[in-house]
Chains A and B, each alone.
Chain A
Amino acid sequence: MERKEFIKIISFFTIGSGITYSGYNIFRETKEPLKSKLAITLDQQKRIINKITLGLPHQKIESLLVDGYEKAIRKLLVNEHLKSEPINFEFENDYYTPIGKTWINSPNSYNGKYFEQYRKKSLRAWLLEHNYSNTSYLQNNMLQFWLNYFSISDIVDHRYEFSHIKMLYNNCFGNFKRIIENITIDPAMLRFLSGFVNNRLHPNENYARELLELYTIGKPIHKSDYYIESDVREIARSLSGWKDQGWYTSDPKQKVESYFNIHDHDIGEKKLSKFFSHYSLSNNEEKEYKLIISQLFKKDDVSINICSKLYRWFCQDEINDYTFKNLILPISKKLKDSNYELNEVLFDLFTSDIFIKNSLDDYRIKNPLQFIFSHLSFFPINESKDQLQYHQTWSFLFKILSEMGMEILKPPSVGGWKALYQAPNYSKLWINSATLAARQNFISNLLNPNSFISINMKRFLSQSKTEEPKELISYINSSFFQNQLSEETVKHANVLLLEGEDLNKKNLIKVTPDNDWKNNVPIVLNFLLNLPSNNLI
């Protein structure tokens, strides 16, 4: 399609970030995504890998790239299965779960006593710890993508949360249609968007609306050919009857699972609108959810919606017309043509010319997880050998993340973190007077030897393999800041390293007053890590 013709068709319809498209026969002349012909340096490859992964240790990135960028992406796209489980690390009164054992299969209550408080803490600590120790670094970030995509929140039986996380993790780079099928009857989702009480007498529209608006077709737009309110209702009717069981159970044999209750199912005929070719569905009971999802997945909008969101999670806040036409549309077409297998499409995304170029050009504010893990993956941390204290460290980080505006497993709405969708500020929304204080607080903790997450300065110096003060600043600049620090900043950092700073004014680190510059490393880090540059990725 000629660009002019394309622009004529796109008229005034919008998706997500203001990108315009017609939705009509849009894949007709879409070609393969442009493969990377760009010659990119090792440093540039590292920068992209750092942006798309979460928690990849600094020392591992070179070995990952040893066979080149494309092979590295292939390695990162291997879908592992979840092996670790949250454990009871502190609570002595869980009748079913001794300390050190997992609670994911044991009841949430015993004799009128409930265990949700400690399990909430345990699950969140585990999720962060898992991100730290798990070596599937792209999958770690993809899991966060899915958690944001579906944005369940406030599920107070934490076995439900775990089973939700496990399903998403195991299917991270798998089949998108299957993920939507799974999520539609996922016990946590049935609770979160009222599916469990969606009964035949008067349907509950909660899940059906978000299924259309957020998970598949995309935001409602004002045009004659799009889904309409009656589609919300009809889809809700077709999903009625699905229930979860295991919620707050005291029965040790009761697993967390979903089931279909025919008596709560609306057996009448369901009719979708013109947008879905007037699809009509007679009673098919528990098979209906898959049939209806199949109808939704016939629309090009579904793959365009997911591919746009993938691009925005991994690359850039806004999608311009060029990127939309030459990257988003081609990979969307490929996704649909391959019956929604994600792996190859993700490979195409990460290795495409446009993704690489935009990734290198674009800077965003690190989201709080990126902010925390950019430090934890670069600096050696004093890890407590004491199991309890080790787990408390992650609980502590969960609290700090919340103060930074990202309480994991509790996004502000079903739309997820606002910084991912709210124009015109997008990632800038992570920075305000309150969250700046939380970021500063995190850095103070890294530099306070008594905190849970302090940097091991000795190991850091040995990791840097530097002997001279200047070399150390240069190492931090190149390896942590991608050589982006200004001359003035580097100069000031050198002075601080050689001369130290009067810390009586600051309630930070006590330094022995001697002439060894190595003792001034915390002072320099306090300066560098609090710089605005450290908020960018």
Chain B
Amino acid sequence: MISLNDNSVLVLIQLFGGNDGLNTIIPIESYDILMKHRGNIMIPEKKILKIDNNIGLHPSLCELRNLYDNDELLIINDVGYPTQNRSHFKSLDIWTTGSNFNKTLSTGWLGRSLDLKHPNYPNNYPNEKFKDPIAISIGSAVADVCQGIMTNYSHVLNTLNSFPQFLKEPLDKQSDNRMNMLKFINTSIDSTNSYNKRLESIVKKGISFADYPENNELAQGLKKVVTLLSGGSTTRIFHLSLSGFDTHAYQTDKENQEKGTHAFLLKQLSEAISIFHKDLKNIGHHKRVLTATYSEFGRQIKSNNSFGTDHGDAAPMFLFGHGLTNSMIGKLPKIENYLDDQAAVPLQFDFRDVFASIINKTMSLSPTEIESVFNKEIASIPLF
């Protein structure tokens, strides 16, 4: 049983663009039918990393195979939401806000969860109890999923080399649009100044052991997470992203379906996660960190004629962590012989139920609180 509690850390990795689930976790029993629908991008059967007679992994995911064997990987099949929207932007809005398909929300589901824990944030933050950023977004922009009512909880971190201080501005009392904007900048500066001081001292103490490849940006981001955790950071939410999954054309090479954009990206993911896990063990934090991937949609079952796939519906999610007792939730998709042109994989699980089960474990929120975050009845999914 995974031992997550009040001390646990959640790492979210966004796979931007819409990951092709059917070439990530390949349902081998439907292989012949898939060859009919997407023959030009199918991984040769012999090259698939077979977990059993039906579950196959893309050959780029060899490191994940080891995690699977060590009970450190959980695959959740066909995650999405009802009435799937195939626009990147609308679908991403739904995944980040946790809204219904016909609603627009301005806060992220994680931000709303954090609002329950930190109702006054950012006033009087940092403080004795919460010295560090509540969430950290590795990269150059805040994580939309961390948007709360008052502000976004994620502190943006793109380098561990410098932690400058910034100048605030005394403000007049009047409250107009200009003053509100200045207040926003002042508040950003306030928190950046305090967090930068704190982060600088954490980074001095922090360490990472593993060899993170230079050309793997996700791995470099995860190295920062390890450095911070080993240096004593009490931040419990990290957000990272990997872009390029919008594989409309040349998802695979023409001649070699094991190669191409998708193979490259999955390799980046697999390699980064594997090193990260190894290093978490090195620093002794592996029991408290749970990592989850998400993507705005899967892709259509039929490939197009340009060695790619167009926007689809549901796709698998990965969870990584120590001592995951389950290794797969839900059935692998069964592909029909006859399909509409734009058919995609239907959902088995609502992503909100998946995230609800995750934050139930990692954030100690009550079922009522979690239902208020997602504004829906939560169907419990036995992830752990």
Q: Which residues of A contact B (CB under 8 A)?
A: 12, 14, 18, 193-194, 197-206, 209, 213, 219-220, 222, 229-230, 232-233, 361-365, 405, 412-415, 418, 421-425, 428-429, 431-437, 440, 484, 486, 488-489, 527, 530-533, 535-536
Can you list 25 A-B contacts with CB-CB less than 8 angstroms, sorted by A residue number? A18-B104, A197-B307, A201-B305, A202-B304, A205-B248, A205-B311, A206-B310, A219-B89, A220-B90, A222-B102, A229-B342, A232-B86, A233-B341, A365-B181, A405-B140, A412-B141, A414-B88, A425-B142, A425-B152, A431-B184, A431-B185, A432-B192, A436-B164, A530-B167, A532-B185
B243 to chain A, nearest CB (A): 8
Does B359 belong to the interface (CB within 8 Å)?
no
B interface, over-half SS: loop
A197 contact from B16, B89, B305, Cβ within 8 A: B305
Contact check, B306 vs A199: say whether CB atoms are below 8 A apart: yes
Does B170 belong to the interface (CB within 8 Å)?
yes
A268 to chain B, nearest CB (A): 12
Contact check, A433 vs B192: say whether CB atoms are below 8 A apart: yes
Contact check, A434 vs B157: say whether CB atoms are below 8 A apart: yes
Chain B's closest residue to A358 (CB) is B177
Interface string of B105-126 (1 = CB under 8 A from A): 0100000000000000000000
In Å, the complex CA distance between A372 and B83 comes to: 44
Interface residues on chain B, number (Cβ under 8 Å): 62
On chain B, the residues within 8 Å of A203 by CB distance are 304-305
On chain B, the residues within 8 Å of A202 by CB distance are 302-305, 341
Tell me the B302-345 residues at the A interface (CB within 8 Å): 302-308, 310-311, 341-342
Chain B's closest residue to A403 (CB) is B140
Contact check, A536 vs B310: say whether CB atoms are below 8 A apart: no
Chain B's closest residue to A437 (CB) is B164
Q: Which among B181, B182, B192 has the greatest number of chain A C-beta atoms within 10 A?
A: B181
* 14 extra A-B contacts, CB within 8 A, seeds A422-B144, A486-B171: A204-B306, A206-B249, A209-B86, A219-B89, A405-B141, A421-B89, A431-B188, A432-B155, A436-B188, A484-B178, A489-B169, A489-B170, A532-B169, A533-B169
Chain A's closest residue to B306 (CB) is A197
In Å, the complex CA distance between A432 and B177 comes to: 19
Interface string of B129-166 (1 = CB under 8 A from A): 00000000000111010010000100111110010101
On chain A, the residues within 8 Å of B192 by CB distance are 432-433, 436
B223 to chain A, nearest CB (A): 17
B241 to chain A, nearest CB (A): 10
In Å, the complex CA distance between A433 and B308 comes to: 38
In Å, the complex CA distance between A230 and B83 comes to: 15
Contact check, B178 vs A363: say whether CB atoms are below 8 A apart: yes
Does B196 belong to the interface (CB within 8 Å)?
yes
Does B101 belong to the interface (CB within 8 Å)?
yes
Contact check, B102 vs A435: say whether CB atoms are below 8 A apart: no
Contact check, B141 vs A230: say whether CB atoms are below 8 A apart: no
B87 contact from A220, A434, A436, A484, Cβ within 8 A: A220
Does B85 belong to the interface (CB within 8 Å)?
yes
Does B168 belong to the interface (CB within 8 Å)?
yes
Interface string of B77-89 (1 = CB under 8 A from A): 0000001011111
On chain B, the residues within 8 Å of A488 by CB distance are 170
Does B293 belong to the interface (CB within 8 Å)?
no
